[in-house]
Each structure stands twice: as structure tokens, then as C-alpha cells.
């Protein structure tokens, strides 16, 4: 029952992804071809919302439901951001979905997307065995 606090924001995120059509393969291709601005506008509204939310969290020192301090670790640059970004970008243009929309698509009843989801899981597992050998 305690885990319901993960369920509610997750469900809301799924609803938003469906409503803004971020789950749509067509929308993704249109975004990459600069034919439609919808998904760019999604970023343009989500980022200021995120900045304001993080500012409020810091300003009022808001804690998690369990009373833990919300701590956003500073990312340190390594070349993995570039290589990983390029690999992710290729997969993103192919499958037309990033991890969030993948789960939302399964919820929409596109059962074949389970295959993409499992492939993505295999990708993350593969990464967890490789990092010492990968350039960072």
C-alpha cells in the first residue's frame, strides 16, 4: 500500500504522455523532420515547469514522503553522454519511443511493444556488464 505513492505520479505521467501524443511514432518522425512543433513545445513547457519545481523544492526545503532530503546529484561530464546520446538517438528514431512512452504504449494495448520493452531491458543489462570496457 505504501508503494501507491509511486503508482499515482507514474499513472499521471502515463496519461500526460498519451494526451500529448508523445507515444506516437508518427509524432516522433514529424518532430525529427521539423514538420510539427508539438513535441518541441512539450519540452519548452516541461523544462520551465521543472526549473520552477526544483526551485520551490530548494527554497522551501521540501522533503520526500518519507522525510528524506531531496538531493539532485551533480552530473560530471564524461564522453559517455555523447556516445550514449548518439546510440539512444538512433534507437529513438527507429522505435519512435523512449522508455516512458514504451511503457505507456503497452498500457494502450499495443502488445507487440512488449518486445521493444524487453529489448530495451536487455540493452540496459548489457550495459551493466560492459562499462569497464566502454570509453567514457
Partner 1 sequence: MPVHPGLYFYHYYFNFLYLLSDSEPQKISTATIQRLEQSHVHFNNGSVPDDVFNRSSLLTIRGFTIMSVGGFLVGFGTRYAGGCTSGDGIMGLSALQWPSLIAVISFFAAGILTSYYLLPIVLNL
Residue 16 sits in the site that holds partner 1 (CB under 8 A): no
The nearer residue to partner 1, 1 or 109, going by C-beta atoms, is 109
Residue 103 sits in the site that holds partner 1 (CB under 8 A): no
Among left, alpha and beta (phi > 0; psi -120 to 50; other), residue 85 is alpha
Dist. CA 120–CA 95, nearest whole Å: 10
Dist. CA 26–CA 35, nearest whole Å: 11
- Binding part of the chain for partner 1, among 2-10, 27-35, 62-70 by CB under 8 A, reads 27-35
Grid look-up 521543472 returns 50
Dist. CA 96–CA 26, nearest whole Å: 8
Q: Which residues bind partner 1 (CB under 8 A)?
A: 15, 19, 21, 23-30, 32-33, 35-36, 43, 46-47, 49-51, 53-54, 72, 74-78, 80-100, 102, 105, 108, 110, 112-113, 115-124, 126-128, 134
Amino acid at each position: 500500500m505504501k508503494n501507491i505513492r509511486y503508482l499515482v505520479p507514474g499513472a499521471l505521467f502515463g496519461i500526460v504522455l498519451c494526451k500529448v501524443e508523445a507515444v506516437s511514432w508518427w509524432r516522433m518522425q514529424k518532430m525529427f523532420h521539423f514538420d510539427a512543433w508539438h513535441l518541441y513545445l512539450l519540452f519548452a513547457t516541461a523544462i520551465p515547469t521543472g526549473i520552477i519545481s526544483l526551485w520551490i523544492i530548494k527554497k522551501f526545503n521540501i522533503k520526500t514522503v518519507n522525510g528524506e532530503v531531496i538531493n539532485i546529484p551533480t552530473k560530471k561530464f564524461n564522453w559517455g553522454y555523447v556516445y550514449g546520446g548518439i546510440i539512444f538517438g538512433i534507437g529513438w528514431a527507429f522505435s519512435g519511443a523512449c522508455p516512458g512512452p514504451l511503457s505507456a504504449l503497452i498500457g494502450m494495448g499495443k502488445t507487440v511493444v512488449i518486445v521493444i520493452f524487453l529489448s530495451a531491458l536487455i540493452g540496459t543489462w548489457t550495459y551493466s556488464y560492459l562499462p569497464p570496457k566502454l570509453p567514457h
